[in-house]
Amino acid sequence: MPVLSLLFALSALRFCEGAANNGLRALPCPDPEDIFPCVCTTGSENHMTMDCSDVASEDELARVFSSSLPFTKFFLLKIEGNQNLRVLREGDLGPASFSIININGGILEEVQYGALAGSYATAEVIDLSRNALSALPFHELPLFTSLSTVEVNGNLISAIPVLQSASLTGLDLRGNLINEFPVDCFKELINVMNIFASGNNIETIFPETFANLPLLNYVDLSDNTLSNIPKGAIAFISTDKGYINLRSNIISNIEVNAITGLNAGTLYLNGNSLSVLEEDVFRPILEGGATVYLNENPLQCGCDVAWLVTNPALLALIPKATCYNGESLEDLDPSIFEDLC
């Protein structure tokens, strides 16, 4: 065979093989025309992403997932910034299942019971943040057997029921309208590690609200309207470094043993209304090794801080703390407290 003919034949063979390989790489996704305006892409490990950010209505979303889907096991559902979907209806996602569900930055007002039923066994992350949700079917949580993270921050949720899940490790409720948690709200979240609830309207927490949870080590209740932390409210069980953020509330009272188990962790109390530092409250926390931030509180710096000012080791664990007049606790003369208290 002439050399030119051979080269041509080899080039044609490589072209055909390349086309075949490209076809194989695109194979898991449905026909683009069937799912338009959704777009399916395939990543590593044949993970399919279905991006439906441009759907025009609930009916269009339902049409997409009722089309021919050669494979129904998707990795990610992505609907970002959509200004058309108000309700995620039961059945609209057809037979599809997802590991990660991201529907955020839109006007979603309602998720119907069973709308995510196809992902009961597969969903690991459900992110519905920055929408207009006023409620969710939280009672479905136990049905999601692989679910580790729920994010619903930046919505209009005003009430949370008692929650149940054997798999959930992280819960993000930031920036909603919640004013309190029911008694035993988190008791059945046996594997939860992080609970974020900053930027709500929480006025009260009950004793043991954040207690008896074996793996809990991070609680964020900053930017609420808490005034009192009752005995036993936050009790970490098994952590070397717990983290509690109570910044920017109106806390004026913390009961003895309200916060336990921090160990060498961090407690943020800056920007509150504390005027005295009761030894029975704060000494156990500091002796456990925790760092406590108390700046921007109207501390009177009377004899109530004598135990602290005369103990350099404990005082070092309260950085940047100042009295009501701006004087740093570190600059106070210990001899005054030794002589007068």
pLDDT category, 13, cuts 50, 70, 90?
very low
DSSP for 71-107?
A: --B-SEEEEES-SS--EE-TTTTTT-B-SEEEEESS-
Domain architecture of the chain: domains with CATH: 3-287 (3.80.10.10)
DSSP for 146-158?
A: T--EEE--SS---
Express each pLDDT in 90-145 by its tens digit. Answer: 999 999 999 999 999 999 999 999 999 999 999 999 999 999 999 899 999 999 99
Joined together, the tokens standing for residue 257 give: 């043993």
> Which has more confidence, 109 or 23?
109
Over residues 183-187, mean pLDDT: 95
C-alpha closest to that of 79 among 64, 95, 90: 64
Torsion of CA 325, 330, 336, 340, to 10 degrees: 80
pLDDT category, 27, cuts 50, 70, 90?
confident
Which pLDDT score, from 0 to 100, does residue 20 have?
A: 34
Express each pLDDT in 144-160 by its tens digit. Answer: 999 999 999 999 999 99
Q: Is 332 within 8 Å of 322 (Cβ atoms)?
A: no
What is the C-alpha to C-alpha distance for residues 319 and 321, in angstroms, rounded to an integer? 6
Which pLDDT score, from 0 to 100, does residue 16 have?
A: 35
Give me the phi and psi of 321, to 5 degrees please: -70, 140
pLDDT category, 54, cuts 50, 70, 90?
very high
C-alpha closest to that of 221 among 173, 281, 150: 173
> Which has more confidence, 270 or 9?
270
Q: Is 287 within 8 Å of 263 (Cβ atoms)?
A: no
What is the C-alpha to C-alpha distance for residues 84 and 60, in angstroms, rounded to an integer? 10
Burial class (CB in 10 A: 0-12, 13-18, 19+), 59: exposed
Which pLDDT score, from 0 to 100, does residue 34 have?
A: 95
Express each pLDDT in 228-264 by its tens digit. Answer: 999 999 999 988 999 999 999 999 999 999 999 999 9
Q: Is 77 within 8 Å of 53 (Cβ atoms)?
A: no
What is the C-alpha to C-alpha distance for residues 242 and 267, in angstroms, rounded to an integer? 8
Joined together, the tokens standing for residue 36 give: 């338009």
Percent of the chain residues topping a pLDDT of 90? 90
Which pLDDT score, from 0 to 100, does residue 25 have?
A: 38
Within 8 A by CB and 6+ apart from 20, the residues are none
pLDDT category, 190, cuts 50, 70, 90?
very high
